[in-house]
Structure 1
């Protein structure tokens, strides 16, 4: 009997992947030579070790990016649906952001003091995301760390609750998962000394009874969550789930931290604002400044008052929050331009329209190929999942991942001029993404599936 992987013949899949890897390597001699020539300076030969994790024989070297197109050093232009894994959600170097960055560079890059752009950026953060008292960080990981500290400080409780399979950047406190019914430290952690599982609780997404039981113990300072799970095969919330979570947090005296770093793709103001979910603390990063490294965390007014009253009584010294270069004027110039001129209702309407076309096209291709896969879309974020759906929690999402299939499809798409996110099957549509680019991706996907199922 022929072995199947996610509905595909295993031998055919292996032959396709081998052929596509050879095609990629043969087509990029300059990339390979340049990578080898510069291999000694960086650990693993790249600035960030995970840049080796792309499902190609070696990573691309990029010479330029503009709008929704990225160009490598061998001269190949690819339609970019990865968009820096959300960092360039609104396209590469949006004109208002590029202009603001260039102007600010002539006025200085860091002051350790606010600018007038900072005040306007604060107003725009509130206009876009809701009534919070804001602070600026450089990454969403940093912002989440700060929000967690605030929650523990105000509640006097030690634990943070997260959902199995969640992603909140490189925050050690939440590098945990479920093993049976037990919270344990995630496998694969490097150099971890303290045990995150001692101060964290994990439950499955969409299981309100498990959440209520965990909160009833009275030791959870905050629930930290994405409104839609996005980094483990997308998992949508059940109808009525988030109102029930909000009610459970209120009943237990637990705060709710909403991390919209990825789900800002769902619409103007993010998922929570669009669905009427009130957070106690709000985190946004990656795309918020149009590609400039920047994040923000905000506290609802009541939580802000409680924290400021407590902060006024603490002994002087380091709070453990904030870094010297965060809140620099370059960030604020980019924030002001992106929030005010790029992240607009018109942009989102364009993104939604193109993303809906992409999702429909991918779904039709999957149906036409007779595969047991499905497609999920959250606003401008689209994902094909190599398993039946819908998925309801992190355990199901983990089981739905199919590395050999995903790597082969990804490489096949790259060789046909389309770049998607490297670690799962996520695609983003920016305001700059053209209809013809969407149609090329659909066509490439159809072609890859045809070769895999024939």
Structure 2
């Protein structure tokens, strides 16, 4: 027997929970209202408004996997800054390294000794020999795309429907219901001719991928190895083998964005599953809260880059090294010190074993709870990530995710959990573990999940159920 929910009752329940949220968070509401006097959308980032309570919780402090807001509520934090705090809040090793480096100088336009250790560690973990720093994963993706265009002589970037790769212009596209490329989420095209520079197909659609690559005008495919941003979508069996073979055959570079999938293990999803990207990007978590992006390239890409821009030009004393990417703060002493602390002391193999083990256990318990209440929802788990999806089966692509999406139900889940002291990623129903996450945190999530399932079955289901 499968429970069917009433859209009207879900909406009514959401409104009641939002009223309760406002009652519990009067100071946060006041601060958000005051913020509209100074910020375009009420807070330092317009993203901060995207919470189901109609206004954001204002944070007071956070430590490990716990956050406390200005209204005095404590939260078990499974959002973790949408991955930026995958190290946990205030990791001691990063705080110490950053503080000591700040005392010695944060940004010098000169390398430090830490850079050698970090380069060796990145190569060992991710299997690519050459690396560069930026100030965000968005910047790292843009740098990699620029390099791909430089060495292939091609303009187009192929992405998958439902992707998110930061503020990369070429990736701000999607497929509409008719399969036509459009701007995603109403994003302004920013004077970019996306017909000229962007290609988009559905994830796991090898036939469409082959068709687009056969034109021989795609510089690179930019993809997560396991989609996480629109909803968690696993690669189909054989997908990565076909993707790698097709890109090589058509002279297209493969750029894998591991900003989120780094949660798979010490070397990310690519290392765990033996993928062989030409280029790889990291961001967010790798700096432990210090803004950092990283791009890595294989030996062949490096060789082709050096052919285009030699490492040393003996005819010039002061060689230009701008290349159209990077920045004054990229590769700063502070960034490098933070990355060393993260890789050496925080996101270690032992930490990943703990995080992944906790996520696996939590996912199994979540599936059991949903089964007990006959709710036709699917639980996906990837490394240290877990997500509840409002569909009975795993999606194959963004179209499948969209077909199962219920905005009011998602919002209800979020605000219901917020009102009971559990914080999850606001953009969809995804949880993330950090080294400080504990079994007691998972227990609390399962406890609230049981309450939520009972609540929706009791308060939001239709009067009839179907076998």
| Class of the TM-score when normalised by the shorter of the 2 chains | over 0.9
1:52-71 correspondence to structure 2 within 5 Å: 52-71=49-68
Q: Provide the secondary structure at the position in 1 that maps to 2:379.
A: strand
Q: Provide the secondary structure at the position in 2 that maps to 1:279.
A: coil
2: CA distance, partners of 1:412 / 1:64:
22
230, 241, 244: which one pairs with 2:242? 244
130, 134, 137: which one pairs with 2:134? 137
Q: What displacement does 1:93 show?
A: 1.7
2: CA distance, partners of 1:303 / 1:6:
53
What runs of 5+ residues in structure 1 fail to find an aligned partner? none
Q: Are positions 1:388 and 2:399 aligned together?
A: no
2: CA distance, partners of 1:386 / 1:419:
19
1: CA distance, partners of 2:271 / 2:196:
33
Q: Provide the secondary structure at the position in 1 that maps to 2:182.
A: strand
167, 171, 178: which one pairs with 1:170? 167
Q: What displacement does 1:201 show?
A: 1.1
1: CA distance, partners of 2:3 / 2:278:
41
Query: 1:6–1:387: 8 Å Cα contact kept in structure 2?
Result: no
Q: Provide the secondary structure at the position in 2 that maps to 1:119.
A: helix
17, 29, 32: which one pairs with 1:20? 17
Q: Given the two structures, how large is their TM-score scaled by the length of structure 2?
A: 0.93
Match of 1:307 in 2: 305
Match of 2:404 in 1: 400
Aligned pair in 2 of structure 1 residues 197, 30: CA closer, same or farther (>3 Å)?
A: same
Match of 1:369 in 2: 373
Q: What displacement does 1:237 show?
A: 0.6
Aligned pair in 2 of structure 1 residues 183, 22: CA closer, same or farther (>3 Å)?
A: closer
Bigger drift between 176-185 and 307-316 goes to: 307-316
Match of 2:226 in 1: 228
Q: Are positions 1:343 and 2:347 aligned together?
A: yes
Q: Are positions 1:445 and 2:442 aligned together?
A: no
1: CA distance, partners of 2:32 / 2:229:
29
Match of 1:83 in 2: 80
419, 424, 431: which one pairs with 2:435? 431
Q: What displacement does 1:261 show?
A: 0.4
Q: Are positions 1:101 and 2:105 aligned together?
A: no
Aligned pair in 2 of structure 1 residues 32, 181: CA closer, same or farther (>3 Å)?
A: closer
290, 293, 298: which one pairs with 2:291? 293
Q: What displacement does 1:424 show?
A: 0.4
Match of 1:282 in 2: 280
2: CA distance, partners of 1:25 / 1:191:
36
Q: Provide the secondary structure at the position in 1 that maps to 2:255.
A: strand
1: CA distance, partners of 2:163 / 2:70:
35
How many aligned residue pairs are there?
Answer: 450
Q: Are positions 1:46 and 2:50 aligned together?
A: no
1: CA distance, partners of 2:393 / 2:88:
30
Q: Provide the secondary structure at the position in 2 that maps to 1:45.
A: coil
392, 398, 413: which one pairs with 2:417? 413
Misfit runs of 4+, over 6 Å = none
Q: What displacement does 1:134 show?
A: 0.4
Q: What displacement does 1:388 show?
A: 1.9
Aligned pair in 2 of structure 1 residues 283, 26: CA closer, same or farther (>3 Å)?
A: same
Query: 2:385–2:433: 8 Å Cα contact kept in structure 1?
Result: yes
Alpha carbon RMSD of aligned pairs, Å?
1.8
2: CA distance, partners of 1:398 / 1:195:
26
Deviations 1:317-374 (A, max 9, x none): 8522111111111111110000111111110110111111211122112112211110
Bigger drift between 299-308 and 182-191 goes to: 182-191
Match of 1:358 in 2: 362
2: CA distance, partners of 1:28 / 1:301:
54
Query: 2:147–2:305: 8 Å Cα contact kept in structure 1?
Result: yes
What runs of 5+ residues in structure 2 fail to find an aligned partner? 459-467
Aligned pair in 2 of structure 1 residues 86, 209: CA closer, same or farther (>3 Å)?
A: same
Q: Given the two structures, how large is their TM-score scaled by the length of structure 1?
A: 0.96
Deviations 1:150-204 (A, max 9, x none): 0011000111111111111110012112243433333511362122232111111
Q: Are positions 1:74 and 2:71 aligned together?
A: yes
Query: 2:290–2:338: 8 Å Cα contact kept in structure 1?
Result: yes
